[in-house]
Amino acid sequence: MKLIGGIPKKKQLMYSCLFLSVPLLLLILTFYVPVYSAFKLSLTDYDAISKPSYVGFKNFKEVLKDKVFWISLRNTFVYSLLVVPGVIVFSFLISLGLNNESKYVKILRIFYLLPLVTSSVAIALVWRWMYNPSYGIINTILGWVGIPPIKWLTEPKTALVSLVIMGIWGSISYYSLIFLAGLKNIPKVYYEAAKIDGATKYQQILYITIPLISPTTFFISVMTIISSVQIFDPVFLLTNGGPGYSTYTLVFYIYQNGFYWFKMGYGMAVAWFVFIILLLLTLIQFILQKRWVHYA
C-alpha cells in the first residue's frame, strides 16, 4: 500500500471524501432541498393552514394572465433600469475621488461605509422622514430655490423615483469601495507612459482606467441587477406598494401573495418567474462580457 505524506492512499481518499461530504451536505440542505420544495409548492394550492392540494401548472398559467404581476414586472424593470447605471456611474466617480493616499480621503472612506453597517429599517425610517411633504429636509431645501413641496411617497409619478434615489444612495458606498479596489490593481506604469505621450487626465480615464477596470464593472453590474430585481425592504417600509400599484415590485408581490393573502403556492410560482428572469439577465451579462471586458 502506497504512503502519501505518511498516510495510506486508501485512507487519504477516504478522508478526502469525508471532508468533501460536509460542504456537499450543507449545499444540498441549504440550496437543493429548498429549491425542490419551492417548485413542489408552486404546483399546489396552499394557504399555509390547510393541506396543500396539487393543481399542476395552473399557478404558472394564472401568473401570465395576472395584471398585477405585469405591473410589478414593469416597476421592477424601470427601477433596475434607473438604479443599475446610476450605481455604476456614481460609484465609479466617487472611487476616482477616493483613489489617493491623503489622510482626509482615508477618513472619507470610513464615512462611505456607514450605510453598510446601518440597519436597513433605520435607513428607511430616516428617508421616510426626509421625504415628508410638510417638514422633510428634501422639500425644505427645494423650497429655498422656489420649488413647491413634492409628495414623494404619495404620488404615483414620484413614489418609484423616491425608491430609486434611495436605492442608488444605499448602494454606491459599497460598490465605490469595490471600484477603488479595482483601481488599485491597475499598474501605474500605464499612466506614466500615457503622461509621457501627453495624454490628458480625461484620456487616461477613458483609454486606460475604464477598459482595465471592466472586470470590476462587470461584477458590479451583475450584482446590482440581482439586488435591484430583488428590492423589497424600501417598498415594504416606505410605500407598502402604493399608491395603488405604482411601487409594486416582484419580490413585494411574492410577499403579498404568500404572507398577506396566504396564497403560498401562487407566490412560489411568481418566485420561479423571478428566478428565471435573474437567470436570463445573468446569462446575457456573461455572454456580453466577452465583448467588453478586458483583462490587463
The yes-or-no verdict on residue 5 having pLDDT over 70 is no
Q: Give the amino acid at 30.
A: T
pLDDT for position 3: 47
Q: What is the mean pLDDT of the chain?
A: 88
pLDDT for position 120: 83
Q: Give the amino acid at 194.
A: A
The yes-or-no verdict on residue 56 having pLDDT over 60 is yes
| pTM check: above 0.85 | yes
The yes-or-no verdict on residue 110 having pLDDT over 80 is no
Four-residue CA torsion sign, 30, 35, 38, 40:
negative
pLDDT for position 1: 44
pLDDT for position 254: 95
Dihedral angle, C-alpha 199, 201, 205, 208, nearest 10 °: 30
Higher pLDDT, 7 or 186: 186
Under the banding of pLDDT at 50, 70 and 90, the label for residue 103 is low
Helix (H) or strand (E) holding 54: strand 53-54
C-alpha cell at 135: 417638514
| 140-166 pLDDT per residue, tens | 999 999 889 999 999 999 999 999 999
Average pLDDT on 169-189 reads 89
The yes-or-no verdict on residue 2 having pLDDT over 70 is no
- Residue 133: is the preceding peptide bond cis (ω within 30°)? no
| 198-216 pLDDT per residue, tens | 989 899 999 899 989 998 9
| 227-253 pLDDT per residue, tens | 999 999 999 999 999 899 999 999 999
Q: Cα separation of 12 and 22, whole Å?
A: 16
C-alpha cell at 174: 459599497
CA 176 and chain centroid, separation: 14
- Cα of first residue to Cα of last residue in the chain, in angstroms, is 47
pLDDT for position 57: 93
Under the banding of pLDDT at 50, 70 and 90, the label for residue 100 is confident
CATH class of 59-292: mainly alpha
